[in-house]
Structure formats: structure tokens, C-alpha cells
Amino acid sequence: MSKKSTSESVSEQVEALRETLRHHEHLYYVLDAPEVSDAQYDVWMRELRALEEAHPELRAPDSPTQRVGGKPKEGFAKVAHSRPMLSLDNAYDETELREWDRRVHELASEEKIDYVYELKLDGLSLALTYEDAQLVRGVTRGDGEVGEDVTSNIRTIRSVPLSIAANKLRASRLPKNFEVRGEVVLPLAAFHKLNAEREEQGLAPAANPRNFAAGTLRTLEPNIVAQRRLDFYAYFALEERSYIFPQQSESLDALATAGFRVNPQRGTARNIDEAWQFIAQADAMRESLPYEIDGVVLKVNSRALQDKLGFTGRAPRWAIAYKFAARSAVTQVQNIVVQVGRTGKLTPVAELTPIPIGGTMVGRATLHNADEIARLGLQIGDYVTVERGGDVIPKVVEVLLEKRPHNARDFSFPTHCPVCGSAVVREEGEVDFRCINVNCPARLRESLLHFAARGVMNIEGLGEAVVNQLTERGLVRNLADIYSLDEAALLSLERIGEKTAQSLLQQIERSKHAPLDHVLLGLGIRFVGERTAQFLADAFGTMDRVMEASAEDLERVQEIGPRISTAILEFFSVPENRTLIEKLRAAGLNFTAEKKKTSSKLSGLTFVLTGTLPTLTREEAKERIEREGGTVSGSVSKKTNYVVAGEEAGSKLDKARKLGITILDEAALMDLLERARL
Ligand code: IVH
């Protein structure tokens, strides 16, 4: 091949890479709608840099390697930064890191150079301006020169001080006018909670916390932003005149003193070996941190040396971002299977050609729900990008359409439960399909635990250990089977002696007298909680009448709307559920509501509630006591008969002890109530 054609093909390659990068930068920085993972982006960028370095004649001022970021998008007022907000150069392995360290020493012509190490939080950088110790402006990075004024949103972030108290300012030695730069992040807990809410609302989940934080900062409704629980970590203080803090480490301490959140995972290394040790530690702690990080930042500690080292076009020479191994990879979807969760929820899962991601082999990735498959436009056989975030299960984040094989095929969501074969339902406005057969083997364990729980059928002793064994050994295949258990069957289980077996059988026997609302609650009908079950029992009086009720009948009952009535109708429309009810009837369960709602078994007795009970709320406990005729009072006196104490019970408990009043825990209260009822 001639020299000319080689350089031509290189220049074509360079131009193609630039185009690709520009396209994705636009999607990422301007539209907040990335289509490729950061890892993929980094790969292209590195390729381009390498080519430009090898062929300096191809360099161009408009190359994506020559600028900081994308253009800021319209919407918020644009504000020029006091000084450009730069990016950082990256090192992807130890060799590259040591190479940087070598250059720093060379350029600084110093032998001993201290580095400050900080976590590289995966969020968005932000510049906060304080005038006269008051927050006046919060500006996003934008293209590094001009950002967006998002002050109204920033003010809602609790870790951003709105003003700095005079004493703190003095202690920190910060001037009255200063600028702070740092990272806005959405902590993982908030991210998971918000995504769960989105799923409940039928919205597609956000791909990662950073995208969610970016979208949030651009929200025009500050009170929505306030609910999102964004966080801000400061990592720079900028001063107008020459340095107040000759070292970056002092500057960070000053920010912490002034009341900013400064990441505690930081320190000073005397050389690159010490810094490397921290990097290894950070990689190990990555999974357990409450937010996502994508690396470690090293900064030359001395500000004088920083000045000496200066900047390249886009980044300081005195700092480097060590990036952790990619958390995403491209692989092929071999099949899509559907799993049934403990609550009956159907989750589609992609079976992948196994691939290592961040040190773990990944062979499966969640697809969340049917809508997500549609949103991704995924077909079986597609190549996809799979991402493994902090503590989450791997997920498919995008389909590489250009790689779609000709034999790729559509996936159709099952209409019947893959485990038990009964029809699945999707309630209006919900994203998930569910199996609502209580006896579906996938659900049975959970159904049994719920049925036996305290406050439901109160079958003490039918806890996880026993339920696991009963279902695994096939001794119980549906809820009603527990009523045909005998001593021999129970004795065949591990860790169950004669005494335990007998008491469990007694508990099971006793549960047959449980009131109708408890039975209704025990069935585990979606949205039918304690209150609704009680209303249903009161309104219809018998199980049969509940089963026969129409949507209209149901919606006449207090607090029952179309959502609940649909769930009830669907429940009774499943043949397996009707069979179950007949079996429960045959076992002798109580299918008739007590005439009188309140008894007088506890009349004349006064109770005081204190502390937090393990399962009941205060209100629930009060309601139950009053239902049996008892009185609940707010303070302990000689007239008090019982004090019901939960966790963190305070002075009331002390007083009760002094007065010699009987103290009950939740279990004892339940027993008392149960006895009152019989
Ligand atoms: S210093 C001039 N420190 O990483 C240096 N950046 O890749 C500017 N980042 O835009 C950045 N944690 O959004 C710095 N402790 C940290 C950081 C950090 C996260 C982000 C920041 C920056 C990007 C550069």
C-alpha cells in the first residue's frame, strides 16, 4: 500500500471518529439523552487522541479532543464562568498513571511531590458563587466557558449552604467572596427509590444516577428538585487574589470547615505508590459507597507547583483522573425468559452470551418489564450494551441496531404465567404483568408467610424456616394444605420436635376461628390491606357475598375505588383462587363476619402505647384495642392497666416500671387481643 493511501485512510478514520464523537457529545451534553455508554465514548475518544498524536498534521482546532464539552442547551440563563471549568485527562491503568507521575516530576523538576487523592464522583460539576458569604449563583459546567444558571434548583440541595455563618467563615479562612466547585450527585438510595416510583407510574426507568441528576438540574420546578435529594460534594475553592491556601488539601479542609460537604474519602499521598494504594482501596469500596464513582482524581497538592505545571488546551497538567475498568460491555441476547417473582410480578430477563464486566462474568441482565423491551426496541439475537452499576443487577441499556443479525426475532410477552400457567393480568396504568394465582409455586412461599403472619391469621411458628421446608418438600402445594398437615408430616421436618409440632398444629387449628376480615386479608389480594379487608367484611358479612359482588357493589364500600375493585374481581376470576377458597371452607375456616364490630372484652381496661412496635403503627394498635372495648390513654398513671412498649420507649416505660404496671410487647398485646376475641 502506498504512503499516500495510508494517510488518506487515516484521515478518513479521524474524521469519522470526530463525527461520531460530536454526535454523541450533542446527545449527552446538550440533550441529556446519551445513546452510548461512557465506556464506549471513552474508547472512541482515546482512539482519536492516539491517531492525532501519531499524525500531528491531522490535528484541528475543532476536534472533539480540543474542547471541554458540548454547547449548553437553551432554557436557563447563560452565565460565563469566572474561569473556565476544565476537564481532566484520564489514566486507564497503572502504567498510564505512572507515566503521568513521571511527566509531572519532569516538568516540575522536583523530586518530592505530594498528591491529594479524591474520589471521582460520577455526577455533574457545578460552580457556586458566594458573595458576602451568601450563595448568589449556581452554574452548571455547560461547555466549560458558559454554563446555565440553575441557582433556584441548587438552593434546594440540602448540602449546599445558603450562607456561611461569620464564625465558620472566620474559622475556615475563606474570604467573603469566593467560588466553590464540586459535583452534584444523586445518591443510589434516592436513585433506586425514584426509579421504583417511575416504574409504578409506568415510566421508563432512568439508566443511571448521573442522567437522573442531569435531568433534575434542568427541571424548571424547584419543588420537584427538592424531592429528588440531590447532593453536592465540594472539591475546589477559588479565590480572587493570590492563594489563601497554598495547598489543595488545606483548601478542602477549609471548605469542610465552612460547612460544605467534602468527601471524607480523601487524603495526601507522598508519592505515586501511596496514591496507587488508595486507588486499590477505592476500587474495593466502590460497591459499598452510597453513590457512584468512576475513578479517583489525583491533584498536585502545592498550588505553586500547580501554577508551574499549568494547563494543556483542555485540562490541567497537575491533575489526572484514574478511571476504573469499564462497567459495561457489548454482547448478544440469546434469549428472553420471564421470571415470576415472589409477589407474582413477571420480569423479563435477557439471557446473554456470557461476558466479563468489571471482573464478573455476566450472563443475564434484567429488562424490567414489557414496556422497557419496547422502549429499547429489543429483539432476540440483538447485540446490546450491558451495564453493571454500583450495587444493581446488570441491565441492558441499549440495542446496537447496526449490528442486528438478519435472523433476529421479536419477543412476545407471555399471556400466561410461565410457572403455573394461569392467565396473567396487568392493572390499568401499571407497567407490570402479574400472576395472581395465590398458589402459583413461584408465589406460594410468600403467600404462606403472609397468610400466617401476625395480624393476619396469626399462626405462630409458621415462619420462614418451616414454610421453606414445607414448600420445598411438596408437603404444602396451596394455602389450604396447611389445614391437612399432621404431626407426622411436621416431625419429618428439620429442627421440629414433638412439642413444636403440637403447638404449631394448635395454632393452625385456632386460626380457623380468625374473623372474616383476617381471612380476606390472608388471601393476599392486591391492594387489599387490613382496612379494606375490614370494610369488606363489615359491608358484605360473608365470603360468598364478597365473591359475588360486582364492581358497583364493591365500589359502594368506603375507600374502595376502581383500582381496588378491579383487583378483587380479577382475584376471584382466577379458577385456582376459587378452588382455594372452597378448600379453605372445607377445612372449616370462618367465612362469616362477627355481627358486632366492637366487643367489650377489654372494657374498663386502660392502655398506654409507647415506642415503636415492630409491625403495628400506633394508630393500628389503638384501633385494635378500642375494637375490643379497651381505652387508650396518652399518659401513664395509677389507673393504667397495661403499657404496650416498643423500641425506643422512653419515660412512659420508666414510669410504668416504677408504678408496677404490666408491660406488654407487641406479641403479648396480640395474644391479649386474640383471646379477647374468642
Ligand atoms: S477536578 C480542573 N475533582 O470529573 C479540574 N473533578 O473528568 C476539574 N469530578 O468535570 C475537575 N469528582 O465533573 C475534580 N474530586 C473531583 C471530581 C471531579 C468528579 C468530575 C468533574 C469533572 C470531571 C472531569
d(CA 645, CA 609): 6
Residue nearest to ligand 1 atom 9, measured at CA:
120
Reported as a pLDDT band with limits 50, 70 and 90, residue 6 is: low
CATH topology of domain 90-323: D-amino Acid Aminotransferase; Chain A, domain 1 (3.30.470)
Using one digit for the tens of pLDDT, what is the confidence trace for 87-127?
Answer: 999 998 899 999 999 999 999 998 899 999 999 999 999 99
Q: Can you point out the beta strands (E) in 89-151?
A: 90-91, 115-121, 124-131, 134-140, 146-148
- C-alpha 324 to ligand 1 mean position (Å): 14
Q: What pTM did the predictor assign?
A: 0.50
Residues 141, 125: contact at Cβ < 8 Å? yes
Residues 6+ away with beta carbon under 8 Å from 232? 126, 128, 154, 157, 159, 160, 182, 183, 184, 185, 260, 261
CB atoms inside a 10 Å sphere around CB 496: 18
Reported as a pLDDT band with limits 50, 70 and 90, residue 387 is: confident
Least confident of 70-84, 143-157, 207-221, 325-339: 70-84
Q: Provide the 3-class DSSP secondary structure of residue 404.
A: coil
- C-alpha 365 to ligand 1 mean position (Å): 31
- C-alpha 89 to ligand 1 mean position (Å): 10
Residues 448, 468: contact at Cβ < 8 Å? no
d(CA 341, CA 366): 13
Using one digit for the tens of pLDDT, what is the confidence trace for 254-296?
Answer: 999 988 889 999 999 999 999 999 999 998 898 788 888 989 9
Residues 116, 301: contact at Cβ < 8 Å? yes
User: Span 10-66: which CATH code?
Assistant: 1.10.287.610
Reported as a pLDDT band with limits 50, 70 and 90, residue 585 is: very high
Mean pLDDT of 146-166: 86
* Fold agreement between 10-66 and 441-587: no
pLDDT for res 116: 98
d(CA 2, CA 416): 64
Let me know if domain 606-677 sits in CATH 3.40.50.10190.
Answer: yes
Q: What is the 3-state secondary structure (H, E, C) of 501-541?
A: HHHHHHHHHHHCCCCHHHHHHHCCCCCCCHHHHHHHHHHHC
Ligand 1 touching residue 183 (CB < 6 A): yes
Pick the CATH number of 327-403 from 2.30.130.10, 3.40.50.10860, 2.40.50.140, 3.40.50.1970: 2.40.50.140
**3: annotated active-site residue:** no
CB atoms inside a 10 Å sphere around CB 427: 17
Ligand 1 touching residue 125 (CB < 6 A): yes
Using one digit for the tens of pLDDT, what is the confidence trace for 417-437?
Answer: 999 999 999 987 788 999 999
Ligand 1 touching residue 120 (CB < 6 A): yes
Beta strand 115-121 pairing with 293-300: antiparallel
Ligand 1 touching residue 86 (CB < 6 A): yes
Residue spans of the domains in the chain: they are: 10-66, 90-323, 327-403, 441-587, 606-677
The burial class, CB within 10 Å (0-12 / 13-18 / 19+), for 159 is middle
What separation in angstroms does the CA of 148 have from each of 76, 126, 133, 219?
A: 6, 10, 22, 12
CB atoms inside a 10 Å sphere around CB 11: 14
Q: Which of 112, 120, 176, 512 is catalytic?
A: 120
Q: What are phi and psi of 36, to 5 degrees?
A: -130, 160
pLDDT for res 575: 93
CATH topology of domain 441-587: DNA polymerase; domain 1 (1.10.150)
pLDDT for res 359: 64
